[in-house]
Amino acid sequence: MYAGDLYLYSPMKPALELVSLARAMIADAFGKHDPELAQFEMPVTQYAAVLAELKPKFIHHPECKRLLPQILAALGCAPTQTYFDVPRMRTSTSDNFLTTGIAYAFHPHRDTWYSAPMCQINWWLPVFRLAPDNAMAFHPMYFSKGLRNSSNTYNYQRWNQEARYNAAEQIGTDTRVQPKALEAVQMEPDVRVAPPPGGIIVFSGAQLHSSVPNTSGRTRFSIDFRTVNGLDALSLSGAPNVDSACTGSTMHDYLRCSDLAHLPDSTLELYQAGPPQAALLRA
């Protein structure tokens, strides 16, 4: 994955349990509405309000901290060296119903533009069945090719203080400053992977990816979370930094699978100012 490979895993018991938890919470939140079609039956402000209540409940549900270590252990991750962050529930509505704020449609980006470490690994799984026109797209030709971007304007700690908690207010236009490419991105050819519910796509946080414009007529619900290996983090291993110049660090968010401990202070200090690996910027 540090060389740009994508991995795909079939559904397993703890991943299916996580999907079942998400489905139950989604059904409860939307009540009489079919969650995948609710956007056609609700005003956009009401829809955003439902997501604003649902998503934090899922993030902080105690079952998530039980199931994520089980998923990682089932795929061979060492519990004493694998650190995870809490899972996020994402939504991608169809036909541009809501593409800002709480249902942000991601432009082409690397997570490493958002203060993520170069050793970050991303885990992504759908809650309901996917289609090519409501999936996620990868742009692997850029894995080793830098893009001019505004990551130098992004600081994770500042984002948490100023922008993270007003997502539900960003309807129509999203005024929050986020790192973006400052040059045209060649969007095709792309790679779209559509695992069944509970199947998992695993990829480097340095992989350029984006939300596919959803024209499927159904809202996509997905779950993602991230991991770092403690030894890789300490040794500064990971994908090459071809263009990330952000500041701040997400490393305080990670919890060890074996006991939910944070990364050691000696490791956290390496990343506090931003990625320790200097960007290999183009001339």
CATH of the domain at 139: 2.60.120
d(CA 270, CA 251): 10
pLDDT for residue 77 is more than 70: yes
Alpha helices in the chain (DSSP H): 13-30, 44-59, 62-74, 156-162, 230-235, 265-271
- The answer on pLDDT for 216 being more than 50 is yes
Tokens matching residue 18? 């996580």
CA pair distance 250, 208, nearest whole angstrom? 18
Q: Are strands 136-138 and 191-192 parallel, antiparallel or unpaired?
A: antiparallel
Q: Which residue has the tokens 């506090």?
A: 272
Residue 31 structure tokens: 């009540």
Q: Tell me the residue type at 46.
A: Q
Say if residue 282's pLDDT is above 90: no
Sheet strand arrangement including 209-211: 191-192, 136-138, 209-211
**C-alpha 102, offset from chain centre:** 13
Whole-number pLDDT of residue 67: 98
pLDDT-derived band at 172, boundaries 50, 70, 90: low
CA angle (129 as vertex; 2, 55 as ends), nearest 5: 75
Of residues 217 and 167, the one with the higher pLDDT is 217
- pLDDT for 96: 86
Tens of pLDDT, residue by residue over 133-156, are 999 999 999 999 999 999 999 999
Q: pLDDT at position 141, please? A: 95
Please choose, from the candidates 4, 110, 69, 91, the residue with its C-alpha nearest in 3D space to the C-alpha of residue 254. 69
pTM above threshold 0.85: yes
pLDDT reported for residue 170:
44
Asked whether residue 208 is assigned to any structural domain, the reply reads yes
pLDDT for residue 103: 62
Main-chain dihedrals φ then ψ at residue 43, nearest 5 degrees: -60, 150
Identity of the amino acid at 132: P
The DSSP 8-state label assigned to residue 176 in this structure reads: S
- Distance, in Å, from the CA atom of 205 to the CA atom of 227, rounded to the nearest integer, reads 10
3-state secondary structure of 136: strand
Dihedrals phi, psi of 92, to nearest 5 degrees: -130, 105
Question: What DSSP element (H or E) covers 27?
Answer: helix 13-30
Q: Flag whether 1 is in a domain.
A: no
Q: Which residue has better confidence, 173 or 153? A: 153
Sign, CA dihedral 13-18-22-28, equals: positive
Domain that holds residue 116: 7-271
Percent over 70 (pLDDT), the chain: 91
Would you say residue 105 lies in a domain? yes
Domain-located, residue 279: no
In the predicted structure, residue 169 carries a pLDDT above the cut 70: no
Does residue 277 belong to any structural domain of this protein? no
Give mean pLDDT, residues 267-283.
Answer: 78
Q: Distance between CA 144 and CA 13 in Å, rounded?
A: 35
At 28 the pLDDT is 98
Kindly state whether residue 129 falls inside one of the protein's structural domains: yes
Average pLDDT for residues 226-255, to the nearest whole number? 96
**What is the number of domains present in the chain?**
1
Residue 57 pLDDT: 97
pLDDT at residue 283, rounded to an integer: 34
pLDDT (average), residues 125-138: 94
